[in-house]
Amino acid sequence: MDHHTHLNSPAIQAFLPDFCRSVARFGKCDPALTTPQTPADLLAAMDKAGIRRALVLSTAYLAESPMVNPPRADAVDLMRAANDWTVQLARDHPGRFRAFISVDPLRATALPEIARWKGNSAVTGLKLHLTSSGVDLRRDRDVAALKKVFAAAATNHWAIVIHLRTQRGDYGAADVRRFVDEVLPAAAGTPVQIAHVGGWSGIDPPTLAALGAFADAIEAKPANFCHVWFDLSGVWTDKTPLADRQAIVALIRRIGLRHFLAGSDWPYGGTDLADYYGRVYPELPLTPREWAVIRRNVAPYAR
């Protein structure tokens, strides 16, 4: 099971040149974002790696990102079309794909879009990307909006996958503590999957600080986190310093293996899932027994 993959809809793929021109002030777009990939490409990669199912996370949130300047007049239509397309994937491949729609939680369109899909059996959950949406977990109005979105997803009985890291240069433990204290309770027991173990792929001090804050919270009140998982998608490569990989392993052991899920961030970590899981994944210095546990972990919403 791969708990973290992406496919851009045709609407988003056509929009990406505008997006990348806008975000050039922050840096160049990853070529993996702009290179077209098809459902057949993902299925072929899964088959080669022996992966039966994958969560496909909509990239609809990009359409309304505040990083796009000037904003697109048709942003709402793009967002809805992208979610329509992603949900259709699950209908077309019910044994292979689980669809997560996505929204920008700070937009007025977020709650209506969640309501639009209520009761649709082809929708497994909701994807949120706090970096792209410009959410600041230290800003009261952003936290209030995020709580409403979590509550709406819980009402729909959806899982939530959240890219928690924000744009703040000092992102870390303080942000996780506020998320745990104020936002997570709004999920009301709905499954929550923290993407990239709380970072934005890669291992750096903010990622370690964030995951460390989760470890502290889970050790203090483990019963409050029975519905929380962390995906190991795009967190390390074969070039990641050993000390960083060892630091992640230490935190995994503190939190508990049951909370961790295999994921790739396909296609951003490369399009060859067999290579990713066969060569890159074992670079994390867990024991064979520990790896076996994590590879067997399947979140309830992914079954």
Separation of alpha carbons 52 and 34, rounded Å: 26
Could you tell me if 48 and 273 are in contact, meaning their C-beta atoms sit under 8 angstroms apart?
Answer: yes
Structural domain boundaries enclosing 50 = 2-302
Residue 154's H or E segment, with its range, is helix 140-155
The number of folded domains in the chain is 1
The string of pLDDT tens digits covering residues 133-183 is 999 999 999 999 999 999 999 999 999 999 999 999 999 999 999 999 999
The span from the CA of 101 to the CA of 187, in Å, is 17
- CATH of residue 249's domain is 3.20.20.140
Residues 6+ apart with CB under 8 A from 154: 186, 187, 188, 189, 190
Question: So what's the pLDDT on residue 23?
Answer: 85
Is pTM beyond 0.85? Reply is yes
Residues of the chain under the 50 pLDDT cut: none
User: For residue 113, what pLDDT is reported?
Assistant: 99
